[in-house]
A and B are shown apart, each in its own frame.
Chain A
Amino acid sequence: MTDTPMLNEWYPVGILTQLTKAGRDTLLMGEAINVACDSLGAPVVSAEDGRTLPVRARYGHVWTSLGSPTKELFDIPEADQPGRRLVDVGVVRVKCSPLRAVENFLDIAHFPFVHTDILGAEPHTEVQRYEVQIREEVDEVWATKVKFYQPQAAKSAAGGITTDYMYRVPAPTVSILYKTCPPRPGEWDVITLFVQPMAEDLCQVWPWMALFDDQTPMTDLIHFQQMIFLQDRSILENQLPRLLPLDPGMEIPTRADMTSVAYRRWLKRHGFTYGAQLVAA
């Protein structure tokens, strides 16, 4: 069944600097599309039936939609802030629900066990109380005042620090993380997870970053983020059920999962159910 609210959303389908005229075939919500560029280098996305799909070129990526977007692509003001390095991390395919990929990105309690000695380590496993809200005026999920002890929070971090985080969900398959910036106290590093839903249980993930870090070579930044995401991949491919359960009863949240609870509630409210299951199986 086609999910109309999600059909009208924007999705990442390619890296702007890697487009070719011949294009690349991929899938968006089960539909075959081709992502290419014209002779001037502008992105062109076409569907199998010949339709030309709407396109946006933003945050290093090509964005498109199978439907008629009612909203403009979300804004990340930090993307235009001078002094930031913009990092295209590259695509990773995962056999999981696109919504499970986003939910995992919103989770900090797994750091000591999945990103051991990098983003977390025993015995520093406690998740302090933080704040979560659905900001009605912008219709986004926000988690703020999140704190976690990290042995090596970023490529530029020398030792363990308590890192501050904020999370933002501006679209059903997009999550933006704001994180303590070791070289520039007072600023936030921006790390995003842009997810392309290929099918309800298959997605492509395009992480992207806007960092204040003049020191670390670009390749090291890319490897660090790929390492983190690939540690998550073996988790994401082994969750049951494959689809994200939106109704309570199937999974048991705790206080540390408040962001996930709000995300699921927000998805359900909007009918964003591509990759979700509504009734406990």
Chain B
Amino acid sequence: MALSRDVPPQVVIPTFVDGRELAVWRSQSGRIAAWDDRCPHRGMRLSHGFVRGESLSCIYHGWSYNEAGLCQRIPAHPDLVPPEAIRVPTVAAVESDGIIWVASEPASQPPPTLTGLVALRSLTVEAPATAIATAAGMPIDQDGALRPDLAGIACVLLVQPIPGDRTVLHVLVASNASPAAQAAVSRALEDLRRRVESERLAA
């Protein structure tokens, strides 16, 4: 659901898994976590929050939650030990080969292996995954990926459907591709997106 490079320490991002809104964040020491994107206090999105050390705090009232999602501090009552009932629901998050994966249900299998590749960028397309597969001229494989050649470079496009008939593509390229070649792939991706979206608009 995201490239590891796009979530460095102390960064929180909003995303989705199976239509559920998530805040994914990395602690100062590098731990990745995926939680419901909602502070149990007043419903504020935690993806607007801030990371100090190993905890994530809500921007609204500064309530902070430890790595397990348990509330550990309520600034309005600095001496209070928050009741254990105050916790943010979490989902499993793992990282492999430069990609962050989350699963709302316990995953039956580990994420696919993507060796020999380097993460380039993620981009959101205003079209469902099927429309992108059609434009790329290939089906989505068992790893949830498209594997086209773009700008003459072998690419892997991991497909993440998100609500609103939109799709996020997380793109990896062969790790020996030069920066100039990677930039060419990035432009080819923009072109692919333009084609998919204009076809959708025409239809």
- Chain A residues in the interface with B (C-beta under 8 A): 109-110, 112-114, 122-123, 125-127, 234-235, 238-241, 245, 250-256
B121 at the A interface (CB under 8 A): no
Indicate whether A256 sits within 8 Å of B77 (C-beta atoms), given known contacts A109-B61, A125-B62, A240-B38. Answer: yes
B164 at the A interface (CB under 8 A): no
Residue of B nearest to A238 (CB): B45
Is the pair A252, B77 in contact by a Cβ cutoff of 8 Å? no
B41 at the A interface (CB under 8 A): yes
Neighbouring B residues of A254 by C-beta, 8 Å: 41, 74, 76-77, 80
Known: A235-B60, A239-B45, A254-B76; 13 extra A-B contacts, CB below 8 A, are A109-B76, A113-B59, A113-B62, A125-B75, A125-B78, A126-B78, A235-B44, A240-B38, A252-B41, A253-B41, A254-B41, A254-B77, A256-B77
A252–B44 Cα gap in the complex (Å)? 12
A123–B75 Cα gap in the complex (Å)? 8
Residues of B72-91 at the interface with A, using a CB-CB cut-off of 8 Å, are 74-78, 80, 85-86
A144–B48 Cα gap in the complex (Å)? 32
Is the pair B59, A251 in contact by a Cβ cutoff of 8 Å? no
Neighbouring B residues of A252 by C-beta, 8 Å: 40-41, 85-86
B118 to nearest A CB, angstroms? 34
A-B contact pairs, 25 of them (CB 8 A): A109-B61, A110-B60, A112-B75, A113-B75, A114-B59, A123-B78, A125-B75, A126-B76, A126-B77, A126-B78, A127-B76, A234-B48, A235-B59, A235-B60, A238-B44, A238-B45, A239-B42, A240-B37, A251-B40, A252-B40, A252-B41, A252-B86, A254-B76, A256-B76, A256-B77
A110–B38 Cα gap in the complex (Å)? 16
A101 to nearest B CB, angstroms? 13
Neighbouring B residues of A241 by C-beta, 8 Å: 43
Is the pair A110, B78 in contact by a Cβ cutoff of 8 Å? no
Neighbouring B residues of A238 by C-beta, 8 Å: 44-45, 48
Interface string of B10-21 (1 = CB under 8 A from A): 000000000001
- B residues contacting the other copy or chain, number (CB 8 A): 22
A238–B21 Cα gap in the complex (Å)? 12
Residues of B8-66 at the interface with A, using a CB-CB cut-off of 8 Å, are 21, 37-38, 40-45, 48, 59-62
Indicate whether A127 sits within 8 Å of B77 (C-beta atoms), given known contacts A113-B62, A239-B43. Answer: yes
Is the pair B42, A122 in contact by a Cβ cutoff of 8 Å? no
Is the pair A110, B61 in contact by a Cβ cutoff of 8 Å? yes
Neighbouring B residues of A110 by C-beta, 8 Å: 60-61
Neighbouring B residues of A112 by C-beta, 8 Å: 62, 75
Residue of B40, B75, B86 touching A109 (CB-CB under 8 A): B75
Is the pair A125, B60 in contact by a Cβ cutoff of 8 Å? no
A125–B80 Cα gap in the complex (Å)? 13
Neighbouring B residues of A253 by C-beta, 8 Å: 41
> 3 tightest A-B contacts by CB?
A125-B75, A256-B76, A109-B76
B184 to nearest A CB, angstroms? 37
B50 to nearest A CB, angstroms? 9
A109–B42 Cα gap in the complex (Å)? 12
Neighbouring B residues of A122 by C-beta, 8 Å: 62, 75
A186 to nearest B CB, angstroms? 28
A113–B75 Cα gap in the complex (Å)? 10
A122 to nearest B CB, angstroms? 7
Is the pair B41, A113 in contact by a Cβ cutoff of 8 Å? no
A113–B59 Cα gap in the complex (Å)? 6
Interface centre among B40, B62, B76 (most CB of A within 10 A): B76
